[in-house]
Structures are given as C-alpha cells and as structure tokens.
Amino acid sequence: MTNKALNVENLYIDIPLAEGVLHAVDGITLHVDRGETLCIVGESGCGKSLTSLAIMGLLPKAASRNMIALELGGIDILNYSQKQMSNIRGNKMAMIFQEPMTSLNPAYSIGNQLMEAILRHKNISRKDARDRAVELLQKVGIIDAVNRLRQFPHQLSGGLRQRVMIAMALMCSPDLIIADEPTTALDVTIQAQILSLLKDLQDDFGMGLLLITHDMGVVARMADRVAVMYAGQIVEQGSVHQLFDNPAHPYTRGLMRCIPVPGKVKRGEPLGTIPGMVPSLVGKFSGCRFDGRWSESVDNEPDPMLALEPISEKKYSYNVEGSVGHSVRFCCDQCLSNSKAKVSSTKVA
Ligand code: ADP
Ligand code: MG
C-alpha cells in the first residue's frame, strides 16, 4: 500500500476571461502522506482554492484543468468521469470549506446530512449510520449529540456548524481531507479549538490533511510540511522546520517577517509587510512575478550558507543542498539573485 494519500503532478488551471486567458495555476506538484498535514499558504488570489477544487473535480465549468498525475490513496483518478468523482467525494476524500453555511443544506436536519453520504457510499443500515453520526458528533466535542441530530443548521453557532462539517467529512473515513481556510470565518478562541480538534482527529484517524490558509500562524501550529504558493506557482516546499529555520526563497522570508515571533519581535514594534500586489496572470506572462514586491524590509537577511542544486530539466527549480525534500522555484534570474544563494553546477535527477 502506498504511503501517499494524495499525489498531484504538474497541475495547470486556465480560465478564459473577456480580456484573455487567466493562467490561475501554473504547474504545481505536491503530495500529502497518510497521517500528514500539508499546509498550502499564500496570499489571497494566488490559486489555493482553485487547486483544491481541481483535486476534488469541482472546478467551475469555464475552467480547464491539465495535469500529468492525480492519485488518491495510490489509485489513479486522473481520468475519472464526473460520476466516478462523485462516488469518491465525501467517501475517499472530503472537503471542509471556510463558510459551513454554504455547504450545509438549511432544509435538512444535521442528522440527515451526516447520514446521507455514508448511506450513499457504504452498505450500512440506517441505525448503524445514525450510531456513527452520534459517535462522530461526540468525537468533535458536541455535547448532547442525540438531540443535535434533530436540529437544523441555523440553530447552531458558527463554531458548532464547523464541528458538524468536520464530523461529516469523517463519516466515511476518507484517505484525504481538504480544508480550505476552515477557521478564517471564526473568532480566535473558536479558531484555536477547531484547529486542535482537527489535529487530534488526524492522530486518531490517520488521514492526510491538505490545509489551505493565508495565515503563517496556522502553518506553524498545524503543518508537517508546507507549500508556499505565489501567483499560481509553488515557490517553496519542505518540512515546517526546513521552511521556518532555513527559508530559501526571499518571498518565504518576507512572509516570515509578517508573523510575530516571541523573542524576535519586540512588543510594540511593527511587523513586516510585503509591498505591492500579486501580478495579473491574464495572458502570456513575461517579466518577474515579484516586480515591485521586494524591498529592504522584505529581504534584509539572506542566508550566505544557502546552497542550491538545480533539478534537471526544470528551469529555476532547485533542491536545497543537504536538506531532503526541501525545494525552491524562482521565476527568473532576478529572483534567483535576490535569494543570494550559491548554486552548484551539478544537476540532480
Ligand atoms: P485563493 O484561494 O488563493 O485566494 P483562488 O484559487 O480562489 O485564490 O483564485 C485564483 C485566481 O483565479 C484569482 O485571480 C481569482 O480571481 C481567479 N478565479 C477564481 N475563480 C474564478 C472564476 N470562477 N472565474 C474567474 N476567475 C476566477
Ligand atoms: Mg481561497
């Protein structure tokens, strides 16, 4: 059995617009192991949600998707039909969205909605489905689960609704859960509770978790590995320690300066910001994706020890020397020189 819950290779997503084609996602490769949390982190508009929708087979009609591999729990699902995809959604992979009200149906009770997927996908009696729903509501910390089954979404608070969504995602014991900004709409204490709940459940159930966020604090707390996304590309990928201790891309270093670190940032001192905006990705892109985004404050501590090995065939893609699984991608020579890295001439396969 493969250890990979999810494998995605070279994903591209295009959306035709009146002004031209939007190249929203531009060749990203990632995987999530079983029992592992991969955080995709990036600014708003960089392509995180489209990436998750492409994996789930839920892209908007106008969007076109292209990739060379899509595997779920070791099974090739790249050419699955709409019908085959709907058989694995909510079953082998489940999704938790930012706003639970958009994915809960206001007209059905919590119990009916929890039981729907498992009754559809598994050969199970109504009684067993109901018992499983109660068990999972208890697992996600909902008191008085039996009575909650009869309630409707509008009778629950935002935090409780998100707990119900998590229970629903777990009903069929999926290989993979994709959570797109699951706590962004919640206040900070509830957010912390939901995140630690997700972490505990992952320890119990062992599924892969693809967690999408724009918040480096959430990354620090949740991730085993991190993929930093910028303007439709993954610019850096590696373990949470590799990225926090030894960030290779100047943009990753910029993001680090936007989070308060105890001991490093003094009380009252302003946090870093990254100037400028994400470039438009409509039409053929030329130039540097980071134009206008560098400043002294963004990249004032380049690491003189940073050594990179080119990954063969892929222009501007490198492995960080001596750091297994840590890769970085620059968009052009200017970005590479901003990184102040030492580049070795030997290519790795
Ligand atoms: P993120 O989740 O990182 O904030 P998205 O994946 O939602 O970003 O969007 C990536 C880019 O694609 C953005 O520029 C967004 O405006 C555009 N986009 C997303 N969905 C659509 C759509 N249905 N039609 C046109 N453009 C879209
Ligand atoms: Mg999004």
At 87-145, the pLDDT tens digits run: 999 999 999 988 777 788 999 999 999 999 899 999 999 999 999 999 999 989 999 99
Output the pLDDT for position 298: 52
Question: Strand 93-96 and strand 75-76: pairing?
Answer: unpaired
Nearest-atom number in ligand 1 for the CA of 17 is 25
SS (H, E, C) 175-220: CEEEEECCCCCCCHHHHHHHHHHHHHHHHHHCCEEEEEECCHHHHH
**What per-residue confidence (pLDDT) applies to 263?**
67
222-249 mean pLDDT: 95
285/166: higher pLDDT: 166
The average pLDDT across 273-284 equals 84
Determine if ligand 1 sits within 6 Å of the CB of residue 45: yes
pLDDT at 299: 53
Indicate if the pLDDT at residue 8 is higher than 80: yes
Ligand 1 geometric centre to CA of 212 (Å): 14
- Nearest bound ligand to CA 229? 1
Which token pair is 179?
């959570």
Q: Which of 12, 13, 21, 22 to mutate to test the pocket of ligand 1 (most atoms within 8 A of CB)?
A: 22
**Is residue 345 predicted with pLDDT exceeding 80?**
no
Q: Whose CA is nearest to atom 22 of ligand 1?
A: 60
Distance (angstroms) between ligand 2 centre and the Cα of 125 equals: 37
Report the first-to-last Cα separation within the chain, whole angstroms. Answer: 25
Ligand 1 pocket residue status of 47, Cβ below 6 Å = yes
Residue 49 beta carbon below 6 angstroms from any ligand 1 atom: yes
Residue 256 is predicted with a pLDDT of 84
Cite the DSSP H helix spans in the chain.
Answer: 48-56, 82-88, 100-103, 110-121, 126-139, 145-148, 158-170, 188-205, 216-222, 240-245, 250-256, 333-338
Cβ–Cβ contacts within 10 Å for residue 101, how many? Answer: 15
215-220: average pLDDT: 91
Q: Quick one: what percent of the chain has pLDDT higher than 90?
A: 62
Task: Please tell me the distance from the alpha carbon of residue 62 to that of residue 108, in angstroms, as a whole number.
Answer: 30
Cβ(48) – ligand 1 distance below 6 Å: yes
pLDDT at residue 259 tops 80:
no
Among all ligands shown, which has an atom nearest to the Cα of 180? 2
More confident residue, 37 or 304: 37
pLDDT at 2: 75
Ligand nearest to the CA of 15: 1
Residue 102 C-alpha to ligand 2 middle, in angstroms?
14
Q: Which residues pair with 318 in a beta bridge?
A: 310, 328
The finding on whether 53 has its CB within 6 A of some atom of ligand 1 is no
Torsional sign, CA 330, 334, 339, 343 = positive
Q: How far is the CA of 24 from the centre of ligand 1 (A)?
A: 7
Listed in sequence order, the residues at least 6 apart from 34 whose beta carbon sits closer than 8 Å to its beta carbon are 3, 4, 5, 175, 206, 207, 208
**Ligand 1: residue whose CA is nearest its atom 5:** 47
CATH 3.40.50.300 segments of the chain: 4-229
| 87 burial via Cβ count (<10 Å: 0-12, 13-18, 19+) | middle
Task: Report pLDDT for 335.
Answer: 84
Residue 53 C-alpha to ligand 2 middle, in angstroms? 10
Tens-place pLDDT, residues 285-315? 888 888 878 765 555 565 667 899 998 777 8
pLDDT of 275 over the 90 cut: no
CA of 150 to the centre of ligand 2 (A): 32
Measured from the Cβ of residue 122, the count of other Cβ atoms closer than 10 Å reads: 14
pLDDT for the residue 29: 96
Q: How far is the CA of 49 from the centre of ligand 2 (A)?
A: 4
Whole-prediction pTM: 0.93
Chain mean pLDDT for the chain: 89
Homologous superfamily (CATH) of 4-229 is P-loop containing nucleotide triphosphate hydrolases (3.40.50.300)
Query: C-alpha dihedral over 82, 84, 86, 87, to 10 degrees?
Result: 170
Question: What average pLDDT score do residues 204-210 get?
Answer: 93
